[in-house]
């Protein structure tokens, strides 16, 4: 009798374990489906180029380089006022943005005298890739872009400019072996996990955090532990590269006091960091802080950025 009861209990435990495993597998599969849907391939409609930018577009150089197995499309723009100190600004675009979304900012940079390199990220627009993979993918794309630049060009100064996901990438790459002279991060997220959790919680509330372990594991399978765990604020703290953090005080996508790099300012110990807050109504959100009311680049912000880069060259 005791033996039968023991066997029955053992069978119950086996059933429970099997049920738990099935639940975990189902949750992991659901996590994968939702995650992959969020980071599916992005192809924007053709952007109408303003007539004022035709000349700049016609003179740009098409560049092809590889990030992993995917061929990425890049563009090199030449500055209009060459000087003894040559500088290249590499722009890392935001999520669901193409290289051409930053044409007005490129114009401002080239008119100041800088050459500009920008690219479409993996799984977007003119670049290859079945999906955009995740926020962390731009770290790998930017690394590949810098490898290409260092092998093919010779500049006195190399500057980085990133927006949103790109703002995270340009700070995250600071612990690499690339020779970077200064970084500007606009509306940058602090980490891939924070950004995903912030977006998920807006739809399903606190329950999103219950799925954190499975989401983390799935990203590990796509990238690696170091990449997934990377936090921009921590990398900045360990760097001596001048960094300008730009943040809008009414940013709804990357909130000023939540998932942004700026929200971690108390943790950043580097003496080489500056902050610039955009607080003018209509120019203090996630994207609109980059533009004036007429749709051209925000002249005040771009002047701040150009002078930030220039001050680095005169200190060298």
Q: Tell me, what's the pLDDT at 11? A: 59
Span 37-93, pLDDT tens digits: 889 999 987 778 889 999 999 999 999 999 999 999 999 999 876 555 689 999 999
Distance CA 279, CA 271 (A): 24
Regions of the chain short of the pLDDT cut 70: 1-11, 81-85, 199-209, 316
Q: Tell me, what's the pLDDT at 29? A: 80
Question: Of the candidates 191, 188, 143, which has an alpha carbon nearest to the alpha carbon of residue 167?
Answer: 188
Q: Tell me, what's the pLDDT at 117? A: 98
Token pair recorded at residue 168: 């995270």
Q: Tell me, what's the pLDDT at 273? A: 97
Q: Tell me, what's the pLDDT at 47? A: 79
Span 255-278, pLDDT tens digits: 999 899 999 999 999 999 999 999
Q: Tell me, what's the pLDDT at 272? A: 96
Strands of 87-92's sheet in order across: 61-67, 70-77, 115-119, 87-92, 157-163, 182-186, 243-248, 273-278
Token pair recorded at residue 221: 């399978």
Is 55-191+230-315 a CATH 3.40.50.1820 domain? yes
Q: Tell me, what's the pLDDT at 32? A: 86
Domain ranges of the chain: 55-191+230-315
């Amino acid at each position: 009798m005791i033996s039968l009861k023991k066997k029955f209990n053992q069978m119950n435990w086996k059933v429970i374990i099997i049920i738990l495993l099935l639940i975990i597998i189902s949750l992991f599969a659901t996590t994968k489906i939702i995650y992959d849907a969020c980071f599916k391939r992005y192809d924007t409609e053709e952007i109408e180029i303003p007539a004022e930018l035709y000349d700049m577009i016609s003179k740009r150089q098409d560049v092809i380089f590889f990030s992993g197995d995917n061929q990425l499309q890049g563009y090199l723009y030449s500055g209009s006022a060459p000087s003894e100190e040559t500088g290249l600004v590499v722009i890392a675009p935001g999520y669901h943005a193409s290289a051409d979304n930053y044409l007005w900012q490129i114009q401002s940079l080239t008119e100041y005298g800088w050459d500009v390199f920008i690219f479409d990220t993996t799984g977007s627009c003119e670049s290859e890739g079945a999906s955009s993979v995740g926020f962390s993918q731009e770290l790998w794309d930017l690394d590949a872009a810098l490898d290409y630049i260092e092998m093919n060009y010779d500049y006195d100064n190399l500057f980085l400019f990133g927006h949103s996901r790109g703002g995270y990438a340009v700070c995250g790459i600071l612990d690499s072996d690339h020779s970077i002279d200064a970084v500007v991060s606009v509306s940058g997220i602090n980490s891939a996990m924070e950004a995903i959790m912030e977006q998920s919680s807006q739809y399903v509330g606190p329950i999103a955090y219950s799925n954190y372990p499975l989401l983390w594991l799935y990203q590990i399978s796509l990238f690696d532990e170091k990449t997934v765990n990377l936090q921009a604020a921590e990398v900045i703290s360990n760097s001596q590269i001048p960094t300008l953090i730009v943040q809008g005080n009414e940013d709804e996508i990357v909130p000023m006091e939540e998932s942004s790099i700026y929200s971690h300012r108390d943790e950043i110990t580097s003496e080489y960091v500056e902050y610039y807050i955009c607080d003018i109504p209509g120019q203090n959100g996630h994207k609109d802080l980059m533009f004036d009311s007429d749709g051209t680049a925000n002249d005040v912000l771009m002047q701040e950025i150009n002078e930030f880069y220039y001050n680095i060259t005169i200190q060298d």
